[in-house]
Structure 1
Amino acid sequence: MDHHSPEPDRAAAPRVSPVDLLGRLTLDEKIALLHQHAPAVDRLGLRPYTTGTECLHGLSWTGVATVFPQPVGLASTWDVDLLARVGRAVGTEVRAKHAEDPSIGLNVWAPVVNTLRHPLWGRNEEGYSEDPDLTAALATGYCQGLRGEDPDVWLTVPTLKHYLGYGNETDRSATSSHLPPQSLREYELPAFQGPLAAGVVGAVMPSYNLVNGRPNHVATELLDELRTWADGSVAVVSDAQAPSSLVDVERFFPDHVTSHAAALRAGIDSFTDNSQDVRPTIERITAALGAGLVDEADIDRAVLRLLELRDRTGELSGADPYRVPATAIDTAEHRALAREASTRGVVLLANDGGALPLGEPTSIAVVGPFAAHVVHDWYSGTPPYVVTLADALAERYPDAEVRVATGADRVALFSRTHQRYLAATPTGDAVTATSVTVDATSQFDVTDWGHGVLSLRSVATGAYLSGQSWIQRADADRIGGWVVQETYSARTQPDGSVSLLHIGSGKWLRIQNGTHLLVADGTEATAERFSLETLVSGSDDVARACAGADAVLVAVGNDPHVAGRETEDRPDLLLGATAATAWSSASAAHDRPILVIVSSYPYAVQDEAAQAGAVVWSSHAGQELGHGLVDVLSGDVNPSGRIAQTWWRRVEDAGDLLDYDVTGAGGQGGQTYRYAEADPLYGLGHGLGYSEIAYRRLELSAGSVAAPAPTFGHTPARDAEAPGTDLTATVTVENTGDRPVDELVAVYSHAPQDLTVRAPRRRLLAWTRVEVAPHSTLDVRLPLPLGALAVWDVAATAPDRTALVATPGAYVVQPGAYVVASGPSVTEAALTAPLTVTGPEPAVLRPGTLPAAAFHSYRSLVTSARERTLGSCIEVHPAHEAGWAQYGRIALDGARVVRILVARRWLPASSAPRVRLTAGGTGWAPLTEWADVTSTEQYDWQELRLELLSPPAGPVDLRVEIEGAARVAELIFD
């Protein structure tokens, strides 16, 4: 970057080290530093400090800054280096704002590495991919850019969000994500492990939800484990208001003193709570200290981590090798990078009609809600400018006629009570029922974003109707805000009139007597009754624009603040009503319309794609959205984007939004491209270009390899440099066309389905991007880490009898006949090669103590918290009366007695709680009699001593069967 000083500014020696500074702080000063808004300590030269500057895809909430594509769009580049360059630009702009205003902190809350397990998740736009390894790689790249290149001083300190198992907004602070051992180890943890292990992350934020029955903000073992993946210190910063939610929402603790003490002991270092009011946090931690719930060592540990975080940016030493000036925002370089990222994130999903590239049309119809519209999301900054699709088309084709139709219905609303039309004032500061005629002031364009959620834009002011106060205005330049004020719902009354509900306030619109102001303070009974007069049909307007056009582009998608956003999951995968109508009208008027989807997530568009001449997708790509799309649509740039998330044909194919067991071990069916059986519309890695790439040959360096040793501990066995894993795949690709191609070459595994431990049906092993010249052939060599074939096997190691919950297991590559595949996507295996993995038979577990949560499969059970902050157990799912957990390959070695540690779930059940063991292979037979659970409290553990009826001689599969409200923590065999 040109803002990097050639002569680093370094102090000769640090003014004070974090450890030294900690020793100089008083106890009261240390407690105050635990809040997000840490006050100054003037006597030690510590200025006020705030954790958490948002910069998900550009600096947010601090004024003008470069806005890059949403993360889901950046991910479609599959380019770690590009993500690093974007991160470096964003980090530079954070430093620039910090130079202007030191209160803007250098601890940044980005990236989001929650996997995109389910496309209905409202925050889909914030993540990278459904594949955890691809997510980890892209996040590592972004973090490398944010971190900067100086070996000692960080440009900014990235924070990974949100740890862990977070992928639903519905009841997000109350739902528990059930993560059995395999889903936890194979799917959820790796996305966080990668960036932490790379040394480019200095903080982690837990998520609002619970995992296995315990809020993540007091998940001691999970927080302890994440710190083992990083070489240096890792601060844990709470999510906003999450510490108080432990009591107020989750009701996991009886009071805030107890909950804050538990969070501090579990590993929370910075409390983002009660906005800027530090007083409640100070009072609660001080009370916890006085009650003996925490000690000063707990406080010191957290404060030291926060001081180390601040020291990384040079704050304590005074070193600044970057010297970023306040003017380093919206530079020419950043504008060019924004356009490059936007262009490279565009994915050509289909081109069956050969409608693209556009060539040189003389007339272009661009229709639909995003024909001339660029939107923000919640974590967007304020762009210095925006380029719409229509803008970019007019710029690229100056001699062509560009016709624009949004598809919105233009209407007038006539008050039946006041016998006047609604009209916007000239400044838009109010809407009144005063117009006796229909003119520009009394016309509104209505867009239906889906499920009856409407926005109304004043034709006179060009701004949205909004309810920022109870008096309705027509001056909002966009739909936005934490509570959206620009959306409405219409209800048709029995007499044919229409009433409007302001969704943000939940109040119905009525017209004040006397002032005639439109206000939101009514009930449905008092709501104004309007006659809705359609002046211009959006469908007809689209048809007129498309008539006779050389090219028709139908630009549809979502507004990121409506029907799918933080706090709100999507209801389905369908296009909104206005978008669907625009498509129907355009496809009736033109034989090869091009469907352009601008969205934060996939849609189920099988029928639309079948009608389209081509289908193109872009995320909301920020200020350069229009240029990025037209660079590809025109053919000036060959499309190189590839989707990093499956597009399903039906919402049912994606699975249950609240089911986090992606492996399907609970019998509900697998999820994501790895485990689902459904055939997607567009599979992971899919994306077309304008030049044909043929996959000619796939050759493995060996057809048979020995499985690497199991990996114990916390890191998956994915190291390509590990002994015995020097397998390579060579993929030969040919560019048969006339254009150079930036091709994604990826290699996938297909695991045999008869393995002892369930393995992914498909899995991404390795990928790279290569340039392939026209009419040339290229051999692409990819190292294949055998560890990527590993599954988590809980029988691979004996548990520690002294541990409360440490789940036994290891990452194990199972012997078997695998298939290695390569092709245009995970579902298009153009080439395959067999791979035999040899190795010993699967391990047999000889337990002394068997943690109940260390199961291979189960039915109607969930994992729950053994104690409030430590340990795991199992219990019947609240929706069921009975269930079982199965443990494979158990050798009882002459055991005659089993001791089962049990308690009673707080939630009542209709049947008396009881447990027993069964053993089986082809059939299941009782191994013990049923035993009643007499414990009356969920943390009041009792030991049931049961004799084994007929101890089996060899390894068997065991089941713990549970009826009613029993909880089971462990089995001890004697």
Structure 2
Amino acid sequence: MSTDQPPFRDPALPARERAADLLARLTPDERVAMLHQFTPAVERLGVAAFRTGQEALHGVAWMGPATVFPQAVGLGATWNDELVRRVGEAVGREVRAMRARDPRVGLNVWSPTVNLLRHPLWGRNEEGYSEDPHLTAAIATAYTRGLRGDHPTRWRTAPVLKHWLAHNNETDRDTSSASVRPRVLHEYELPAFRGPVQAGAVAGVMPAYNLVNGRPNHLSPLLAEQLRTWCDHDLVVCSDAGAPSNLAGSQGYFGTHEEATAAALRAGVDSFTDHGEDSSQITARVRGALERGLIGQEHVDAAVLRLLAMRCALGEFDPEPFDGEAAFDTPGHRELAREAAEQAIVLLRNDGLLPLADGARVAVVGLLADECKLDWYSGALLRRSTPLDGLRERFGADRVVYAEGADRVRLGCPGGWLAVPETGPGERVSGDPAAGGALDPALLRGRTDLPPLTVSAVAGEEFALVDWGGGVLTLRAGCGRYLSVADDGLVRASAEQPGGWVVQETFELEPHDGGHLLRHRGTGRYVEVAADGVRVAADGGPGTVFAVETVRRGEDEVRAAALEADVVVVVAGNDPHIGGRETEDRATLALPPQQDRLWRAARAANPRTALVLTSAYPYAVGDADEALPALLWTAHGGQAAGEALAAVLAGDVSPGGRLPQTWYADDADLPGLLDYDVIGARTTYLYFDGTPLYPFGHGLSYASFGYGEPEVSCDGGTLTVRCTVTNTGAVAGDEVVQLYVRAAGTTEAPGCAGTGGIGGHRLPRPHRALAAHRRIRLDPGASREVEFTVPVSRALGFWDVAHGRWRVAPGAYAADIGASSADIRRSAVFRVDGESGAPRPVARIRAADYDEQSGTELVDLSRERGDAVAPVVPAGSEAAELVFHDCDFGTGAGSVTVEAARAEPGEAEIVLLLESGDEGGGGGRDGRVLARLTVPHTGDRYAYTTVRAVLDDPPSGVCDLRVALHGSLRLARLGFGGPSSAETT
């Protein structure tokens, strides 16, 4: 390098050293400007403008046409780390290629989403990989490695994981708090992030909108205490769009935006995504915080240093350009999109109907039979293959009959019928990202260059009506475009597909005065016939009463097609923009009634019917499972979805996908949407005690596979399992070999009360937990030895709440190997020395470290860090309770101290009850009262007081402690010690 170049342009230097040199050359104002998502250029140094944030969840999004791969949950269903790495590599190369022609394309990619699919009604289920932390971490590691590239120092792109932390609901997502107890945090939530970060291919994380334990994620102390300890390079924290303003806005966590911005910087947020491209408000808040002494220059510099180090790693300041092996829409990328779509398909049930015979006459029917749906984070399609396209190409157009199954209706009104004026063919206007992680909504509200609907006195337009569930419907005109509402309020047939941040193509029919009102969901207003055309009425306007005339029912169309065919393929599922998406959770696992009727109509006409569910999430389809000979599921499969499905249906490809999450049989099996305690709620395959419709890891094949006896060894800190798998079928196929581990006889295993543990207490452990997996391909008769090596601590350990650390209990464990979490083919027991549990010290007990609870939630101990416990039971109901097992009171504890706060006027009460351990474990609930302590009004939720009491009958030995909380309070800690005078301070 030329000696006249500054050190920050020397690629031979470490990124952090280069970043420090550049930082030193920036003025204080230039440094502050670096904190906004849209960073301005520093022309005097030759530093270009930079934008954090480029969506790339399953292909480059929002920047026009790009290769579209299957949705993230579909990539998770492949269970194929190497395939997903190649997908990430292709996406990263397309980012580089697109940036070369459009500088708005960012190299800091906000992907992947590693939030665990704890609850299948989450609207963003499509964005995650799995409900299991191991599988999620493995797939995320693979994808980020592809995005990052293999160069030792230069990064192809800089991946950011979303969304830190415990984020799995859209309902009240910016104000709801996830109560995450320590075991769930360390055993379930953190590992999904830790795996890819420790692998070294992650540039940073994005905090989630929600709160965890009462504290906004953008202030999470775990960013410093956990995340930034997991790797040896600087990790950038990019805020979610608008979230910094929520801190003093919707969340009301601070009184001013200066306080909020300062707190976020102190917690570790580096890049603020707020107010679109307008950086003035964020920079003003930072300057205000500096002037008020809420932060120092060192906080700004630390954040800017991390951002500059990331830009150095991307090669931005190198004297020679770095393109990351840019490539776009190559034959290899197209083939990879097809391969990924094939591997994502899961065969749920097959009674011999599949594969379809050559020469079969196929009816392909259903609302998604001729659709290739995109979601909010998709790029525009370069090419498109629907199930109908794929089956016609594979079997011949003359052998395939099609019926959509939408109802055809006319809408009558005073003066005639709704009609669409004659126009030429049109296309939906596509959005273009202007700022801040969102498309310009003005471009997504329908076209205004087309005339609005009118009223015709003669036969009106026939609209295809689809009910997507919950009464939410779309209406498509004969020209193929959907009815949509633009900014001017007029209703036009103008949208190629439903979509946008606010979907303007959905309506509801409400019975009224012998007819129906048509309510537009995007505006919440009713549709009326006005002088200038059909429009939404002014706010509060009554709307026009329409007569809905059904011209043809979808079931009749499907029934007719089914009668003509040898076999019927019903394609059902969801539109990713409707009834379950970002900002909107689902209400039920049930298939929408209209689609339920369609498969039943097909089955009644032709028993040889297969149901293909193309969806972003699971459904409860128990009736279909009982009635139909074949069911398949695939996430929306991207540009090659149709040809991939046809290849599997025809048997050209044996299905090998596996479910990445449990498919529950009924809504009643689900926990509350905001119940994040997977242990206490007994949810996900790890803890679910019921019988699912389809278990985690489930998926069938056209081949069959045999498993040999496993060889298991546990040497030091590593568990090694070997097993030979043989294709015993007649066709080649993929098998996903799954290794699970479980406690088989430890003193702290599930269901082992009274087997020698301290006090005989039961420690809830998973039924079994995925420890390793591998997808392999075998020809008929071929065998392969599969070997897994797994760290014992990671696979078998748990978070010991009594001592605040990770521990592996001694005893017997089982290695279960098989084809799903419920299809275990072989099992072997082995022993681990581990570390025996010790009684809980009682001198200082954190309230949050309970073993059991009822009627409580975790809240923030202070605005900065720490957790406390608060009751959530309604007034007049039983008290909230905490249980602490195996408390060691030694030879006697003469006093108790509690630290608690009560913001409300009046008093609250804490009652301590002692329960002696017995051979059955746990003691009874009628334990003796140790003490009753009164918590006075402290004036603020963070103002803690210490209350002490002398114990008349001091406890001794090892016993359980039950703590009952009466009234509104926050309990931080309690402890036992020698006698002292009862007092309140």
What is residue 826 of structure 1 aligned with on the other side?
Answer: 821
Deviation, structure 1 residue 898:
2.6
Q: Return the offset for 1:526.
A: 2.5
Q: Which residue of 2 aligns with 1:955?
A: 958
Whether contact under 8 Å (2:742, 2:796) holds in the other structure is: no
Which residue number corresponds to residue 611 of structure 1? 627
Tell me, in whole angstroms, the C-alpha distance in 2 between the residues paired with 1:199 and 1:591: 53
Instruction: Tell me what 1:31 maps to.
Output: 32
Aligned to 1:597: 613
Structure 2 counterpart of 1:367, from 365, 376, 385: 365
Map 1:347-496 to 2 at 5 A.
347-352=346-351, 354-398=352-396, 400-415=398-413, 417-427=414-424, 429-438=450-459, 442-459=461-478, 461-469=479-487, 470-495=489-514
- 1:408-445 CA-to-partner distances (Å, cap 9, x unmatched) read 01112121x22344334424723433323336xx1211
After TM superposition, the runs of 4+ consecutive aligned structure 1 residues lying more than 6 A away are 12-16
Shift of 1:48: 1.1
Shift of 1:100: 1.0
Question: Equivalences for 1:684-703 in 2 at 5 Å?
Answer: 684-695=696-707, 697-702=708-713
CA drift of 1:231 comes to 1.4
Matched, 1:501 2:519: yes
Instruction: Choose from 709, 716, 729 the match for 1:724.
Output: 716
Q: For residue 93 of structure 1, report the CA deviation from its aligned partner.
A: 0.7
Indicate the SS of the match to 2:819.
coil
Partner of 1:641: 657
Matched, 1:580 2:596: yes
Deviation at 1:322, TM superposition (A): 3.6
Q: Equivalent residues in 2 for 1:652-671 (5 A)? A: 652-664=668-680, 669-671=681-683
Amino acid at match of 1:595: L
Structure 2 CA distance for partners of 1:533 and 1:848, relative to 1, 3 Å: same
**Shift of residue 211 of structure 1?**
0.4
SS in 1 for 2:710: strand
Contact 2:77 2:658 in 1 (8 A): yes
Secondary structure at the residue paired with 1:831?
strand
Residue 820 of structure 2 aligns to a residue in which SS?
Answer: coil
2:885 aligned residue: 888
Alignment-derived partner of residue 717 in structure 1? none
8 Å contact kept, 1:347–1:617: yes
Please say if residues 167 and 208 of structure 2, whose CA atoms lie closer than 8 Å, have aligned partners that are also in contact: yes
CA deviation after TM superposition for structure 1 residue 228, in Å: 0.6
Shift of 1:10: 8.8
Instruction: For 1:296 and 1:878, locate their aligned partners in 2 and report how far apart those are by CA, in whole Å.
Output: 45
State the shift of 1:399 in Å.
6.0
For the residue of structure 1 that corresponds to 2:703, the secondary structure is coil
Taking the TM superposition and a 5 Å limit, the aligned residue runs for 1:47-126 are 47-126=48-127
Pair 1:862-2:860 in alignment? no
Q: State the partner residue of 2:582.
A: 566
CA apart distance, 1:653: 1.4
Backbone CA RMSD of aligned residues: 2.0
Counterpart-to-counterpart distance in 2, 1:835 and 1:512? 77
- Contact (CA 8 Å) 2:853, 2:882: kept in 1 or not? yes
Separation in 2, partners of 1:839, 1:647: 35
Distance of aligned partners of 1:404 and 1:837 in 2 relative to their CA distance in 1, 3 Å threshold: same
Q: CA deviation at 1:131?
A: 0.3
Map 1:737-816 to 2 at 5 A: 737-751=729-743, 752-754=749-751, 756-795=762-801, 797=803, 809-816=804-811
Q: Per-residue deviation at 1:321?
A: 4.4
What is aligned with 1:308?
A: 309
Equivalent position of 1:872 in the other structure = 867
For residues 524 and 63 of structure 2, the distance between their equivalents in structure 1, rounded to whole angstroms, comes to 30
Gaps in structure 2 of 5+ consecutive residues = 1-8, 427-449, 744-748, 753-761, 918-922, 978-985
CA distance 1:313–1:319, shift in 2 (3 Å): farther
Please report how far the alpha carbon of residue 890 of structure 1 lies from its aligned counterpart in structure 2 after TM superposition: 2.3
Once residues 847 and 187 of structure 1 are traced to their aligned partners in structure 2, the CA distance between those partners, rounded to angstroms, is 27
Kept in 1: contact 2:569–2:612 (CA 8 A): yes
Q: Partners of 1:170 and 1:85 in 2: how far apart?
A: 35
Residues 199-256 of structure 1: per-residue CA shift (max 9 Å, x gap)? 1101100000000111111122444321111211001111010010011111111111
By how many angstroms is 1:324 displaced? 4.5
Residues of 1 paired with 2:936 and 2:802: CA distance? 31
| Distance apart, 1:105 and its partner CA | 1.8
SS in 2 for 1:535: strand
Q: Deviation of residue 330 (structure 1)?
A: 1.5
Q: Secondary structure at the match of 2:709?
A: strand
Q: Please report the TM-score for the alignment, with normalisation by the length of structure 2.
A: 0.90
Alignment of 1:920-935 (within 5 A): 920=915, 921=917, 922-923=923-924, 924-935=927-938
Q: Using the alignment, how far apart are the partners of 2:932 and 2:516 within structure 1?
A: 66
Shift of 1:89: 0.4
What corresponds to 2:205 in structure 1? 204
Q: What SS does the aligned partner of 1:562 have?
A: coil
2:152 paired residue number = 151
Tell me whether 785-794 or 215-224 shows the greater mean CA deviation: 785-794
Aligned 8 A contact 2:183 2:801 in 1: no
Letter in 2 for 1:426: T
Stretch moving more, 249-258 or 423-432: 423-432
- Give me the TM-score of the superposition, normalised by structure 1: 0.91
Using the TM superposition, give the Cα deviation of residue 169 of structure 1 relative to its aligned residue in structure 2, in angstroms. 0.4
User: Residues of 2 paired with 1:772 and 1:584: CA distance?
Assistant: 37
Alpha-carbon distance in structure 1 between the residues aligned to 2:631 and 2:360: 21
| Residue in structure 1 matched with residue 755 of structure 2 by the alignment | none
Q: CA deviation at 1:452?
A: 0.8
Residue type at the aligned position of 2:709: L
Whole-angstrom CA distance in 1 between matches of 2:783 and 2:233: 45
Letter matched to residue 757 of structure 1: L
Distance in 2 separating the partners of 1:40 and 1:834? 62
**In 1, are the aligned partners of 2:155 and 2:324 still within 8 Å (CA)?**
no
Is the partner of 1:748 in helix, strand or coil? strand
Task: Assess if the C-alpha contact under 8 Å between 1:421 and 1:438 holds in 2.
Answer: no
Shift of 1:375: 0.9
Q: How far, CA to CA, are the matches of 2:384 and 2:59 in structure 1? A: 14
Identity of aligned residues (%): 42
Alpha-carbon shift at residue 838 of structure 1 (Å): 4.1
Deviations 1:117-176 (A, max 9, x none): 010000000000000111001000000000011001000000000000100000011111
The structure-2 alpha-carbon separation of the partners of 1:320 and 1:957, relative to structure 1 and needing over 3 Å to count, comes to: farther
Cα deviation 1:495-520 (Å, max 9, x = unaligned):
1x22211100111000112x3x1101
Q: 1:890 to 1:796 in 2, by over 3 A?
A: same
Q: Relative to structure 1, is the Cα distance of residues 318 and 157 closer, same or farther in structure 2, using a 3 angstrom cutoff?
A: farther
Which residue does the alignment assign to 2:236?
A: 235
User: Which residue type is aligned with residue 814 of structure 2?
Assistant: V
Q: CA deviation at 1:965?
A: 1.0
Residues 913 and 341 of structure 1: is their aligned pair in 2 closer, same or farther, counting only changes over 3 Å?
A: same
Greater Cα shift, 641-650 or 217-226: 217-226
CA contact (8 A) 2:800 2:807 kept: no
Secondary structure of the structure 2 residue equivalent to 1:465: strand
What is the rounded CA distance, in whole Å, between the counterparts of 1:246 and 1:160 in structure 2?
Answer: 21
Q: How far 1:842 sits from its partner (Å)?
A: 1.2
**1:775 positional shift:** 2.4
Aligned partners of 2:199, 2:319: CA distance in 1, in Å? 26
Q: Does 1:329 align with 2:331?
A: no
- Give the Cα separation in 2 of the matches to 1:764 and 1:379: 29
Q: Secondary structure at the match of 1:701?
A: strand
